[in-house]
């Protein structure tokens, strides 16, 4: 309870009071100040951004600047009665409404009823609605008319962390300003100023830790800093911050990364165990490792100007050297493993085992860049001498292969002769009627899905000439036939694949089978079990059955349905 009270006092004491005081939002402050100078202040604004970046503070400053009679260059004086009342939230004409607890249509109706009442002592009445996205749909609809045509002395400021939940009808009636996350360096500078004013000595690396932990939120940084001031003594060090937050110091993070990189699994697990017993929270440790590997990724890419979020500036050089031992695919895989572990920690009771498992998996990762290159070589068949895969090595029990004299020579480093770049040429299929089914099956298996989905609907094929294949679609699949006719590039891709399979240039033509005639004998008119002569052109399912069972259908019997 004492910490909470202290935080409230500290946050209010150092809340920005002028446009110049707002840290990291100069673009918004400049736009609002210019609008006040030119008397072009909109009737409604939407302030969006993460928590604790200055949205509500900016709204209060705007209210003071519009109502202060002693304002200079768009900045309020902060000494008059109106400025002081607005700063403390006690002015009757500047109303701050919590959208989360006043979200219903009745609350908005009350607001509409009061909008038309003239302000008691200020020039402009202002409604600041925080977390406006929490309003109900009915409340938003009730607000529309008032928002579109408010009285001339009324202004609205809506603050939200989730602008995507605000209806477009509201967004279109507001001027929107997006508040950015505050840079770590600027947060650190502000915390250093607060420490001086509070008369407490705080080490620079401790301030940096708090600033990085805040994640771009000035209010979060002040909350953590307030706890730190209450926790520490006459001088606050980085170890005090880590002890308070349950986090690991930079040296420990670098140790863990090095142990995992060097596959020192025993030392790695011992370091995790030591950190756990010293009060480091597992979730915090995983978060720190994700940020640390992210920093390694940034440095490995050569982005030297990008701000580090996992490791302090003092260890940047050590991290830079360590980044050269990694490649991008491996770092990406490590971050994915840690992210999955973090998402599971909240749902299991065996969090320690999950973290141990994740770090062991990371320590066992191979060089993924080399594996990727090896896969590429395997696909292309380009094996450097001495690095052929195991299936390409000569088996002493197998018949001898015809090798060159240099390839047959054994060396101490290579006890078995290695076949240099041995690649078996792809087997060709003769383009003839007896091999038609084999050609078609391999074509379907090897073609990409965008073409396969159409070719699977083919009813039959026919080899018309030594280099021509006719493909027939059922009458109900005219669309598939038209796809090939409208897109010649699809036809060329099929012909190219046939050339790879057969070794010759094959031209293809697409046709539609005629629809089945209605002259067949009706099933209902044929006695059960009677024999019916097969038509000259067998149905598709009969031909398929013959192919599957390697048989010939000699007769067919109609099965009569029982008609009630």
Give me the average pLDDT of each 10-residue run along the chain (564 residues): 49 85 91 92 93 92 92 87 88 88 85 82 90 91 85 91 92 93 91 90 91 89 87 83 91 95 94 94 94 94 89 90 90 93 89 94 77 67 52 42 42 45 61 86 86 88 85 87 86 88 88 68 43 54 63 61 47
Parse the chain into domains and list their residue ranges: 2-178, 247-384, 433-512, 523-557
Q: How far apart are alpha carbons 169 and 338 in whole angstroms?
A: 41
Q: Is the separation of the CB atoms in 35 and 41 below 8 Å?
A: yes
Mention the CATH class of domain 433-512: alpha beta
- CA–CA separation, 498 and 489 (whole Å): 14
Q: Residue 556 pairs with which residues in a beta bridge?
A: 532
Q: Is the pTM of this model over 0.85?
A: no
Give which of 207, 197, 288 is closest to 247, Cα–Cα.
288
**Distances, alpha carbon 356 to alpha carbons 329, 338, 348, in Å:** 22, 11, 14
Alpha carbons 249 and 239: distance in angstroms, whole number? 7
CB-neighbour burial class of residue 60 (10 A; exposed 0-12, middle 13-18, buried 19+): buried
Quick one: pLDDT at residue 546?
A: 63
H-state helical runs in 38-98: 55-67, 81-88
Provide CB contacts within 8 A for 1, sequence distance 6+. none
User: What pLDDT shows up at residue 395?
Assistant: 44
| Separation CA 1–CA 260 (nearest Å) | 42
* 1.10.1660.10, 2.170.150.20, 1.20.272.10, 1.20.1250.20: CATH of 247-384: 1.20.272.10
Compute CA 158 distance to the chain's CA centroid, rounded to the nearest angstrom.
Answer: 28
Distance between CA atoms of 15 and 19, rounded to whole angstroms?
11
**2-178 sits in which CATH class?**
alpha beta
Distance CA 47, CA 163 (A): 9
* Parallel, antiparallel or unpaired: strands 531-532 and 556-557: antiparallel
- The counts of H helices and E strands in the chain are 24, 12
C-alpha to C-alpha distance for 394 and 404, rounded to whole angstroms: 13
The burial class, CB within 10 Å (0-12 / 13-18 / 19+), for 42 is middle
What are residue 552's phi and psi, to 5 degrees? Answer: -125, 130
Q: How far apart are CA 48 and CA 357, in angstroms?
A: 40
What pLDDT is stored for residue 398 in this prediction? 40
């Amino acid at each position: 309870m004492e910490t909470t009270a202290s935080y409230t006092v500290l946050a209010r004491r150092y809340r920005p009071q002028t446009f110049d005081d707002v840290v990291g939002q100069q673009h918004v402050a400049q736009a609002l100040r210019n609008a006040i100078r030119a008397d072009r202040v909109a009737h409604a604004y939407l302030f969006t951004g993460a928590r604790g970046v200055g949205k509500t503070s900016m709204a209060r400053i705007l209210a003071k600047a519009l109502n202060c009679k002693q304002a200079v260059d768009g900045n309020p004086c902060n000494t008059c009665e109106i400025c002081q009342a607005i700063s403390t939230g006690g002015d009757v004409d500047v109303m701050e409404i919590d959208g989360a607890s006043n979200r219903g249509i009745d609350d908005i109706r009350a607001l509409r009823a009061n909008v038309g009442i003239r302000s008691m002592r200020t020039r402009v009445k202002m409604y600041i609605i925080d977390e406006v996205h929490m309003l109900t749909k009915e409340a938003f609809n009730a607000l529309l008319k008032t928002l579109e045509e408010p009285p001339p002395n009324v202004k609205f400021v809506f603050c939200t962390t989730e602008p995507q939940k605000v209806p477009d009808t509201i967004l279109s009636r507001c001027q929107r300003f997006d508040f950015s996350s505050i840079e770590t360096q600027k947060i650190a500078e502000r915390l250093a100023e607060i420490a001086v004013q509070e008369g407490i000595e705080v080490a620079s690396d401790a301030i940096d830790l708090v600033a990085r932990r805040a994640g771009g939120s000035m209010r979060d940084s002040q909350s953590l800093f307030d706890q730190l001031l209450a926790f520490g003594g006459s001088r606050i060090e980085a170890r005090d911050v880590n002890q308070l937050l349950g986090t690991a110091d930079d040296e420990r993070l670098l140790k863990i990364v090095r142990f995992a990189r060097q596959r020192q699994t025993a030392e790695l697990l011992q370091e995790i165990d030591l950190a756990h017993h010293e009060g480091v929270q597992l979730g915090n440790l995983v978060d720190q490792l994700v940020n640390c590997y992210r920093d390694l990724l940034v440095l490995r890419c050569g982005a030297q100007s990008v701000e580090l979020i996992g490791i302090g500036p003092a260890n940047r050089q050590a991290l830079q050297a360590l980044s050269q031992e990694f490649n991008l695919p491996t770092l990406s895989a490590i971050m994915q493993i840690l992210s999955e572990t973090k998402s599971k920690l909240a749902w299991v009771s065996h969090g320690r085992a999950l973290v141990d498992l994740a770090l062991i998996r990371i320590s066992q990762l191979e060089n993924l860049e080399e594996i990727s290159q090896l896969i590429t070589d395997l696909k292309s068949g380009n094996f450097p001498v001495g690095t052929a895969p195991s299936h390409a090595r000569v088996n002493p029990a197998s018949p001898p292969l015809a090798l060159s004299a240099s390839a047959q020579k054994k060396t101490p480093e290579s006890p078995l002769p290695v076949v240099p770049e041995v690649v078996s040429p792809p087997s060709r299929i003769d383009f003839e009627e007896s091999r038609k089914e084999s050609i078609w099956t391999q074509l379907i298996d090897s073609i990409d899905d965008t073409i396969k989905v159409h070719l699977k609907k083919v009813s039959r094929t026919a080899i018309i000439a030594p280099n021509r294949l006719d493909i027939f679609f059922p009458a109900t699949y005219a669309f598939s036939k038209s796809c090939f006719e409208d897109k010649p590039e699809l036809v060329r891709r099929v012909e190219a694949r046939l050339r790879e399979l057969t070794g010759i240039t094959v031209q293809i033509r697409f046709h539609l089978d005629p629809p089945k005639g209605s002259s067949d004998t009706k099933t209902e008119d044929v006695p059960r079990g009677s024999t019916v002569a097969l038509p000259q052109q067998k149905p598709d399912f009969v031909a398929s059955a013959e192919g599957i069972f390697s048989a010939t259908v000699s007769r067919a019997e109609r099965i009569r349905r029982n008609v009630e």
